[in-house]
């Protein structure tokens, strides 16, 4: 049966986790996979999460099934955070998913059920798992290079060209904030132009929102998403709580469909539940229940928001430290989220690891949350030694 399978390479991003751990050198810096680290280099369980988990442990009296939609209180409590306090609740349905990846996959399958073989337009570079997720759901990925890494700038003409080339019903994947891997987000004027094109060309935005609160704060990071949703008749939003609640391995996410057509919304909601049923039957509970407990309590919500502000400030402080360590790295201070992507070859990224203990993705993507401001000098020295600066 399995003799026809071909060997698959290990995911190169995830392989970095093990390679870093196995490196015996005393000085090394982990700018690899996208996780937050504090001043001690740890990825601690957030205080609000610990308190909510304690409460959950003491009060949870059953682990009976909830159903394919997961914890709908969690799904609903996230809505004002994502869509705003005054959003029209009648326009949105949602379902809990295993992380943001689960939400992307479920959204892709929903699209494939509605429009088999639909095209998804993906601006590159993007998260390396985006294209495989859409392709695994039998969608056709059309990519267009929209960030020039050498200039560290968006090629906005390319974006408009792609939107003009797309046909009615095509899907446009957009990073809601904190672009992964470049940290380069559209400005508000560009978002407005994108929104107008989506409407004019009858395109479906699929917004991946995985880092809300880690760019410029919860409200500011949601602004582009809200602007798009205001303009279009329907949209999908894949949301992840893995980073902003530090719940990575618990896999906490949700897929939302926003539509002005109430009948379609109801049918699509049922489709999302049946697709979840055949994929994972029901999502894992613990992480989402933890987020629910936080959001049900004004006190825990306050603690969580404060921690997120501190995390965001630390990441932006690291950005400032690296940007001021070398004149050619100034752009890093203007980018947002965990990542920036330097223009470099895979060989250079490997040399940075092997010769200098500076771990970043083969693509040159750096997780700025992985460093300390005091690492800036060593990073610049290594980049200079390898000819990147």
Can you give the binding site for ligand LMR, defined by CB under 6 A?
Answer: 13, 33-34, 127, 129, 180
Which residue lies nearer to ligand LMR by CB, 34 or 107?
34
CA neighbours closer than 13 Å in the CB half-sphere of residue 342: 29
Which residue lies nearer to ligand LMR by CB, 68 or 213?
213
Query: What's the closest the beta carbon of residue 180 comes to ligand LMR, in angstroms?
Result: 5
Rounded-to-integer distance, Cα 168 and Cα 162, Å: 13
Q: Starting at the edge strand that comes first in sequence, how are the strands of the sheet with 204-209 ordered?
A: 92-98, 252-259, 234-240, 204-209, 171-175, 119-124, 140-145
DSSP string, 278-329: HHTSS---HHHHHHHHHHH-HHHHHHHHHHHHHHHHHHHHHHHHHHHH-GGG
Query: What's the closest the beta carbon of residue 85 comes to ligand LMR, in angstroms?
Result: 28
Rounded-to-integer distance, Cα 119 and Cα 111, Å: 10
Q: Which of 191, 197, 243, 362 is catalytic?
A: 243
Asked if 183 contacts 335 with a C-beta cutoff of 8 angstroms, the reply is yes
Angle between helices 286-296 and 72-83 (to 10 degrees): 60
H/E run at residue 207 = strand 204-209
Which residue lies nearer to ligand LMR by CB, 68 or 215?
215
Q: Rg for the chain (alpha carbons), in Å?
A: 21
> Residue 359's Cα: distance from chain center in Å?
21
Q: Which of 127, 185, 221, 285 is catalytic?
A: 127
Q: Is 269 a catalytic residue?
A: no
Taking phi over 0 as left and psi of -120 to 50 as alpha, with beta for the rest, 123 belongs to: beta
* CB-CB neighbours of 380 under 10 Å: 17
Q: Is 191 a catalytic residue?
A: no
> Residue 256's Cα: distance from chain center in Å?
15
Asked if 197 contacts 164 with a C-beta cutoff of 8 angstroms, the reply is yes
Which residue lies nearer to ligand LMR by CB, 15 or 232?
15
Rounded-to-integer distance, Cα 285 and Cα 288, Å: 6
Asked if 177 contacts 336 with a C-beta cutoff of 8 angstroms, the reply is yes
Q: Is 127 a catalytic residue?
A: yes
Structure-block tokens of residue 98: 């295993």
Query: What's the closest the beta carbon of residue 101 comes to ligand LMR, in angstroms?
Result: 7
| Residues recognised as catalytic | 127, 208, 243
């Amino acid at each position: 049966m399995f003799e026809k399978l071909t060997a698959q390479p290990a995911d190169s991003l995830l392989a970095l986790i093990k390679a870093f751990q196995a490196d015996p050198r005393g000085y090394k810096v982990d700018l690899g996979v996208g996780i937050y680290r504090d001043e001690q280099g740890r990825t601690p369980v957030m205080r609000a999460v610990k308190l909510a988990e304690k409460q959950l442990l003491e009060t949870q009296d059953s682990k009976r099934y909830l159903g394919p939609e997961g914890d709908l209180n969690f799904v609903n409590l996230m809505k004002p955070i994502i869509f705003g306090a005054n959003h029209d609740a009648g326009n949105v349905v949602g379902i809990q998913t295993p992380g943001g990846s689960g939400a992307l996959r479920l959204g892709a399958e929903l699209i494939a059920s509605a429009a088999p073989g639909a095209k998804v337009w993906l601006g590159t570079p993007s998260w390396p798992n985006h294209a495989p997720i859409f392709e695994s759901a039998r969608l056709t990925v059309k990519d267009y290079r929209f960030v020039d890494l050498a200039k560290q700038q968006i090629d906005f003409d390319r974006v408009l060209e792609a939107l003009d080339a797309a046909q009615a019903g095509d899907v446009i994947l957009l990073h809601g904030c904190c672009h992964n891997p470049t940290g380069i987000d559209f400005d508000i004027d560009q978002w407005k132009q994108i929104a107008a094109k989506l409407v004019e060309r009858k395109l479906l935005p699929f917004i991946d929102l995985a880092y809300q609160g880690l760019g410029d704060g919860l409200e500011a990071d949601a602004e582009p998403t809200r602007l798009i949703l205001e303009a279009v008749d329907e949209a999908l939003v894949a949301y992840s709580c893995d980073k902003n609640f530090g719940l990575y391995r618990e896999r906490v996410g949700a897929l939302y469909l926003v539509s002005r057509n109430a009948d379609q919304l109801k049918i699509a909601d049922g489709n999302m539940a049946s697709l979840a049923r055949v994929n994972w039957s029901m999502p894992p509970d613990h992480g989402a229940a933890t987020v629910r407990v936080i959001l049900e309590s004004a006190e825990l919500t306050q603690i969580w928001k404060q921690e997120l502000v501190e995390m965001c400030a630390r990441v932006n402080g690291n950005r400032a430290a690296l940007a001021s360590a070398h004149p050619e790295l100034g752009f890093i201070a203007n980018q947002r989220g965990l990542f920036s992507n330097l223009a470099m070859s895979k060989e250079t990224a490997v040399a940075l690891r092997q010769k200098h203990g500076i771990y970043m993705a083969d693509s040159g993507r750096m997780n700025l949350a992985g460093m300390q401001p005091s690492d800036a000098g060593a990073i610049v020295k290594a980049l200079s030694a390898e000819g990147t600066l």
